[in-house]
Copies of this chain bind each other. A is one copy, B any other.
Amino acid sequence: MNERVLAGEIREKNIDQKVLLKGWVQKRRDLGGLIFIDLRDRSGVVQVVFNPDYSQDALEIAELVRSEYVIEVKGAVVRRDESTVNHLMETGMIEVFASDLKILNKSKTPPFAIKDKTDVSEDLRLKYRYIDLRRSPMQETFKLRHQTTQSVRNFLNDNGFLEMETPILTKSTPEGARDYLVPSRVHSGEFYALPQSPQLFKQLIMMSGFEKYYQIARCFRDEDLRADRQPEFTQIDIETSFMSSDEIMEMTEQMMKKIMKDIKGIDISLPLMRMPYDEAMQRFGSDKPDTRFDMELIHVSDVLENSAFKVFQGAISSGGKVCLLNVKGQAANYSRKDLDKLTDFVKVYDAKGLAWLKAEGNELKGPIAKFLTEEEIMGLVDRADASDGDLLLFVSDKTSIVYDSLGALRLKLGKELNLIDESKFNFLWITDWPLLEYDEDLGRYFAAHHPFTSPVEEDLDKLTIDPANVRANAYDLVLNGYELGGGSLRIYKKELQDQMFKVLGFSEEEANEQFGFLLEALEYGAPPHGGVALGLDRIIMLLSGRTNLRDTILFPKTASASDLLTDAPNEVSEAQLIELAIQLNEKNN
């Protein structure tokens, strides 16, 4: 009886065995001179009974025990009375009659109870993270995270990839998101940066001849946080040499197939659907469409291009468009007040308003109906396939605003109206991305992915004369409306990388200062290469059916990048700053 037994694994086959248990007091009940303790460990819960006939000593110690005390119990496994069998517990057929009880550690009353559902504030859960993590759904999430990580590794190991570690203390290259900086003590006045991704290092690994690399890599972005962003996050980072984009996508699909099988027991069929970026925007108003439900954007600019309704006509004539969503059968369920709320919703996406019409018989009714001709009404009914009781919601604006606002409205309505089959896992590749995005405020092009993404070969001659229409050799993987990540073929010729930096507005000097090591490496036999990076935290979120990314990270930070448990970041001593040869700006002192 020296070997500890796991509480949640005891079954009827163990009846009459003596067991040694160690764990936490989940619950204590006193009943008719007996004490019942639910003992919890990482495997689950078992009921322990303290009976004066069995051990008076153990019973007396059991009287001292409270929730979350850590205890050690010796006892015998017995079959429960028929009347006390608990079919909801995996160990509910048996209980343990205690002969010995030892209190290993006490506990104050926890700030909240260890139960599956909790309604305490997230801040309190984060401050007492070690208590929150004892709850079964949290335990399960991190077991799933462990299993997913191993599934990924097994797949990549079996396919000849080498797991390799790239540095965390790297060079600051301020293109893209904001770097976290680390002052150097030895080289005072200089800084390391934490990597936003291992992008350049994984390309250097290809130039080092390793051909197949992966890493479950920690990445850092000092961005203003949103609900689904963390200052540090983890990505499945992969790079290969000599593979085409099709081959990289196929490999990634095989990996996702294995994860889905290993973790969810689901067979997904390959190849995954592919959709060009333009099509995704036109049909779903999103570059990461949730394809678990329809309600696609309906384009009606041609129907309305001569409309007397100024709002429509104005948008079209100034180069924008009019699209609508047909919310099938919901006309009666949306009051003016509800529609005003939807209008407020699209305004967040810079839409000036949301026009609406309700289908009654063959007619469309609503405040804007009077501006529309018979022919336009017929055209809309026909295009939207509108039937009695349908609600049509219109946005007319610049194309990007029409897509953003209706894309977001589509998702909102899909959720509100329960149009989404939550059991589905809809994977989708978005391909044919634009290589560059023009920033009107700054008057220059930016890399849509990053400056190392390769243009597609047939668009190469447009790079200097028509950069906006150059497509990238890039692909993003979408699952249920979330971007899991993406990848691309990389530029591997020095001349093309030079040209790319030029298009991005870098002087030769700036390019060399920031990326000279890469440009030089491209001159020494860089192989064709490409890869992919997938967000592990988000994959775990979707696999575990959660909606909060913080529930998938063991010790996450808040939206203001604080760790409420350890109280990081914090002030440091003057001596530490002096060693680093930095000082705080006045306002901080």
Contacts and interface: CB of A to CB of B under 8 A. Distances in A.
B70 A527 contact: yes
A32 interface: no
Contacts of A4: 242
Interface stretch (A124-132, A316-324, A398-406, A452-460): A124-132
Interface stretch (A139-147, A306-314, A341-349): A139-147
B220 A169 contact: yes
Q: Would you list the 7 A-B pairs with minimal beta carbon distance, nearest first? A: A189-B588, A133-B208, A107-B525, A171-B568, A68-B525, A190-B569, A184-B569
B168 A218 contact: yes
B581 A582 contact: no
Given A104-B527, A204-B565, 15 more contacts: A4-B242, A41-B211, A70-B525, A105-B527, A130-B521, A165-B234, A166-B554, A168-B194, A168-B218, A174-B576, A182-B182, A183-B582, A184-B569, A192-B568, A583-B585
Given A70-B525, A157-B150, A169 B568 contact: yes
Contacts of A183: 181, 183, 582
Nearest to A190: B569
A79 interface: no
A170 B563 contact: yes
A232 to B, nearest CB: 6
Contacts of A146: 162-164
Given A167-B232, A212-B42, A524-B131, A172 B492 contact: no
Contact of A153 (B68, B150, B167, B582): B150
A134 interface: yes
A524 B25 CA distance: 11
A191 interface: yes
A129 B218 contact: no
A337 B222 CA distance: 61
A207 interface: yes
A555, A557, A583 pick with most chain B CB within 10 angstroms: A555
Nearest to A568: B171
Contacts of A201: 554-555
